[in-house]
Structure 1
């Protein structure tokens, strides 16, 4: 596995653990539909939460939320629509972005953007 893929998987695992500790109920990871993939799906306070995870080892090239462009959002929404139909979900949904930042001392920080788009 390429280094960036390993870091991405580690970031997803860290976010899964972090959100679970905040009361989010984990449903699934890496849900795929066509060319789209939703990193993590949770349920929180009656809301289905689709989470896009972005890892950054610094902010020199920008913040995580800046890397979820229009095309990526369209793909996420398409996959979410399929998941909602598949699960027969009839309650609210939301799309979150969680940036995972690692500083030069290997400290991890999270930046959570709830209801980031839709």
Structure 2
């Protein structure tokens, strides 16, 4: 497997652990609908949270969260709409990004951005 895939899986595992440690229930991982994949779908306080995880080995080209562009956001919203329909969820939803940056010494910084974008804004 390519090293960037290993890094991505490591980041998703760290993001999942972070969410669970802060009281979120993980409902699904790597949920696919059409061309979209939602890394983590969590639940907390009646809200379904669709979470995109971005892991990088530096921020030379921008912060990891900067790579969740309008196209990716549209795909996430389409997937979320289907998930909400299938789950018959009547409550609130939210779109979060978890950004993880590793340095040369394998130390990391994790940033959880709640309400990272709004579906109506894309």
What is the TM-score with the length of structure 2 in the denominator? Answer: 0.94
The RMSD of aligned alpha carbons is: 0.7
Q: How much does 1:105 deviate? A: 1.3
Paired position in structure 2 for 1:9: 9
Going by fraction, where is strand more abundant, 1 or 2?
A: 1
Aligned partners of 1:100, 1:65: CA distance in 2, in Å?
9
Superposition pairs for residues 15-54 of structure 1, below 5 Å?
15-54=15-54
Per-residue CA shift, 1:22-43, capped at 9, x if unaligned?
Answer: 1111111000001100000000
Unaligned runs of 5+ residues in structure 1 are none
TM-score (norm 1): 0.97
- Gaps in structure 2 of 5+ consecutive residues: none
Q: What is the deviation of 1:56?
A: 1.1
What secondary structure is seen at the aligned counterpart in 1 of 2:116? strand
Match of 1:91 in 2: 91
Matched, 1:64 2:70: no
TM superposition outliers: structure 1 runs of 4+ over 6 Å = none
